[in-house]
Structure 1
Amino acid sequence: MKTMTCRQLGGPCDLAHTGETADDVIHAQDKHLREAVKAGDAAHEPAREDMKGRWRHPKRSLGWYRDMKKAFAELPAD
């Protein structure tokens, strides 16, 4: 298990997301952003829009995805 924060994934806060894979953490971040924006948290809106754009245009977002996978791989296990 490894942990990345919302901020490490491009968001505005330090909420920790833990998972076995980078994909687990990325999906947790997506859920967090959806819930935060739905609750009216304007600080998370830009990151949510970025995440929505990555899901819609995965080929254009491969750079971000590779960077997050690399950052995850470099983290020590919890």
Structure 2
Amino acid sequence: MRTMTCRQLGGPCDLGHTGETADDVINAQDRHLKEAEKAGDATHQEARDAMKARWRHPKRSMDWYRGAKQAFAELPED
């Protein structure tokens, strides 16, 4: 298990997302940003918009995804 924060994944806060894989924490970040947006948390809006925009641009999306996976792999086990 490893933990990445919202901030490490491009967000504005230090909420930790723990998972066995990078995909686990990326999916947790996705849920976190959606919930924050739904709750009207303006501090997370920019990160949520960036996340939505990334998936409209496959190359940019894959660059971000590879970077997140690399950062996850470099973290120590919890």
The two structures share one fold, judged by TM-score above 0.5? yes
Matches within 5 A, 1:1-78: 1-78=1-78
Identity %: 77
1:7 partner SS: coil
C-alpha distance in structure 2 between counterparts of 1:38 and 1:16, whole Å: 19
Please, what is the CA RMSD of the aligned residues?
A: 1.0
Q: State the shift of 1:63 in Å.
A: 1.0
1:13 partner SS: coil
C-alpha distance in structure 1 between counterparts of 2:31 and 2:56, whole Å: 16
C-alpha distance in structure 2 between counterparts of 1:58 and 1:17, whole Å: 24
C-alpha distance in structure 2 between counterparts of 1:44 and 1:54, whole Å: 15
Gaps of 5+ in 1: none
- Normalising by structure 2, report the TM-score: 0.93
Q: State the shift of 1:7 in Å.
A: 0.3
* CA offsets 1:38-64 (integer angstroms, 9 cap, x no match): 101000000001111223333331111
Q: How many pairs does the alignment contain? A: 78
After TM superposition, which residue ranges in structure 1, 4 or more long, deviate above 2 angstroms?
54-60
1:56 partner SS: coil
Gaps of 5+ in 2: none
- Normalising by structure 1, report the TM-score: 0.93
